[in-house]
Amino acid sequence: MSVSTAPKNETMPTRLLTAVPICDGHDSAINTINLELIRHGLEVIYLGYHRGAKEIVRAAIQEDVRAIGLSTYNGGHIEFFNEIVMMLREAGADDIKIFGGGGGTITHADTEQMYKEGTDRIYFAGTPLAQMMEEIDQRYGGVRPTTVPKHGSEEWRFSRTLSAAEDGSGPAEWTGRKIGSSGHSIVIGITGPGGVGKTTLIDELVLRFLKLQPNGRVAVLSHDPSILGKGALLGDRATMIYSQHERVFMRSLGTRGQAGGLAPTTERCLRFLGSAGFDLILVETVGIGQEAAPFGRELVDKTMFVMGPDYGSRLQLQKIVMLDVADIVVVNKSDYSGAKTATAEVEQRIAFNKQGQQLVTTCAKRHRDKGVDELFKLLTQ
């Protein structure tokens, strides 16, 4: 898959990854910091709490962030921060910095040792948020380096090359070793209103793919809305389990002022991922409204519209554009009251289109849901 190099985008936002270490379930502080970072125009990939060093480092590399921010209140911070520093160095990604804080659990003596080992900055309780934001902007903001590393892990070099392709400063396709097992990518576009379970459904589809193809690779391109004129909270990774697998590559994008559910750089990313030979590429939009139809045939092979049973009256179904164009319509949360009635109404609605659209009922949160099994077969036929 080939596409010409796009013009360089000079407005690429600063990207950070935030997380809470393993054995720590305290997320109040990190949520406050996340919101403040977004207000200051940063894109924040939030990995969630109880996260191990390996998955934090992999996520930071895949997302090509400038720094990792950790909030820790359980102790063990010296060893945990140092482990992340060492893993970044081993991957050749030591230009990703690490900062954090931990209320009263991190002492000044601890900080001196952590700085010697490679931690970039520790913030103590009582530090004004304004001061923290100013320092973070000074340390990790500005024009992002676009140089693709010649050394380091293959995943790190691939991720940096994707970023260069995304902002138009690098090659539009991957010229390294093919990543997938088939060399041909199936691209599935997934959209629907917010809160209907798209991310959970994608995670279940990833699980089925990993089981079906022991050597296959899947890419997930996920979108979240950007606050108008500000940053974005990219939080899909926080709710995913199976998509953390080593055979899954994931990149999160903010919409960056573009309406319709995708980002200005989505097409460049898709073309690049397709050139890498992933067996399956799943593209998730932000939660959309009645009028949105984000995907064209030049972007995806199949489109999937996910909806819940609580869409309102039958009249509302007549207004949803995606019900006219989706290859597969999914009514998720089939365990909710009214799901059977909703399925019947949706079935009647798409029957009038006479386009051979398929309807599947799922409960993505249910273990081994038969509806998700059926959906996976339809998508990968």
258 and 337, same domain (yes or no) = yes
pTM of the predicted model as reported, rounded to 2 decimal places: 0.93
Boundary (domain end) residue, out of 140, 166, 201: 140
210 and 123, same domain (yes or no) = no
What order of strands is seen across the sheet that includes strand 67-71? 121-123, 97-101, 67-71, 15-19, 43-46, 232-234
247 and 127, same domain (yes or no) = no
Q: Among 280, 285, 265, 365, which residue's Cα sits nearest to residue 326? A: 285
- Residue count of the chain, please give it: 381
User: Vertex 287, ends 211 and 133: CA angle to 5°?
Assistant: 100
Examine residue 149 and state whether it is found in any structural domain, yes or no.
no
Q: According to the model, what pLDDT value does residue 183 have? A: 64
Q: According to the model, what pLDDT value does residue 312 have? A: 86
Compute the distance between CA of residue 127 and CA of residue 136 in angstroms, rounded to an integer: 13
Examine residue 346 and state whether it is found in any structural domain, yes or no.
yes
The Cα-based distances of 89 to 84, 94, 154, 335 in angstroms read: 9, 5, 14, 47
Q: Is 46 helix (H, G, I), strand (E, B) or coil?
A: strand
* Low pLDDT (below 70) residues in the chain: 1-11, 145-146, 181-183
Per-residue pLDDT tens over the stretch 2-31: 333 334 444 688 999 999 998 888 888 999
Range of the domain at 259: 177-380
Examine residue 7 and state whether it is found in any structural domain, yes or no.
no
Q: According to the model, what pLDDT value does residue 12 have? A: 80
203 and 266, same domain (yes or no) = yes
Q: According to the model, what pLDDT value does residue 182 have? A: 64
Compute the distance between CA of residue 303 and CA of residue 328 in angstroms, rounded to an integer: 7
257 and 199, same domain (yes or no) = yes
132 and 188, same domain (yes or no) = no
3-state helix, strand, coil in the chain (%, to 5): 35, 20, 45
Compute the distance between CA of residue 187 and CA of residue 270 in angstroms, rounded to an integer: 9
201 and 277, same domain (yes or no) = yes
CATH number at residue 21: 3.40.50.280
Q: According to the model, what pLDDT value does residue 220 have? A: 98
Q: According to the model, what pLDDT value does residue 8 have? A: 46
Is 261 within 8 Å of 226 (Cβ atoms)? no
The count of domains in the chain is: 2
266 and 129, same domain (yes or no) = no
